[in-house]
């Protein structure tokens, strides 16, 4: 599977937002002051962006016969949430040009040849 195909499959999998969302805070005792609002922006009810609409259209074309309109809307929302989470991750972790996965090169060693059979001549 190529990297591009793998990344395309991630676009329709609505797992990334739950993996990137912070764990729920433990309940705290009744504070005297009101608690501040969370710093992580929640997904807005605004219409999905053009990339999410295009990917949602791909899902509709491929799987429209098996999905109802409510399911398609949920998939589009999941795609938009994934794209927003990817943007947050991209902003949080800055990668340099030299940052890449480790590709460890191990050459395959050929097995040793079988021993030669020595035949003696008869006189």
Q: DSSP label at 40?
A: S
The answer to whether 48 touches 56, Cβ cutoff 8 Å, is yes
pLDDT digit string, tens, across residues 41-76: 555 567 778 898 899 999 999 998 999 999 999 999
pLDDT digit string, tens, across residues 81-118: 999 999 999 899 888 887 777 788 888 888 888 888 88
Q: What angle do CA 5, 82, 73 make, to 5 degrees?
A: 100
In this structure, the number of other CB atoms found within 10 A of the CB of residue 55 comes to: 21
The answer to whether 40 touches 46, Cβ cutoff 8 Å, is no
Tell me the pLDDT band of 38, cut-offs 50, 70 and 90. very low
């Amino acid at each position: 599977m190529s990297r591009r195909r793998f990344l395309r499959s991630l676009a329709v999998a609505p797992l990334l937002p739950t993996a990137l969302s912070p764990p729920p805070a433990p309940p705290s005792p009744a504070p005297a002051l009101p608690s501040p609002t969370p710093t992580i922006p929640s997904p807005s009810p605004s219409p999905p962006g053009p990339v999410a609409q295009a990917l949602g259209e791909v899902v509709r074309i491929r799987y429209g016969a098996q999905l109802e309109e409510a399911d398609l809307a949920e998939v589009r929302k999941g795609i938009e949430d994934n794209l927003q989470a990817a943007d947050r991750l991209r902003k949080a972790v800055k990668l340099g040009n030299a940052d890449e996965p480790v590709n460890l090169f191990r050459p395959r060693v050929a097995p040793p040849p079988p021993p030669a059979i020595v035949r003696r001549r008869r006189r």
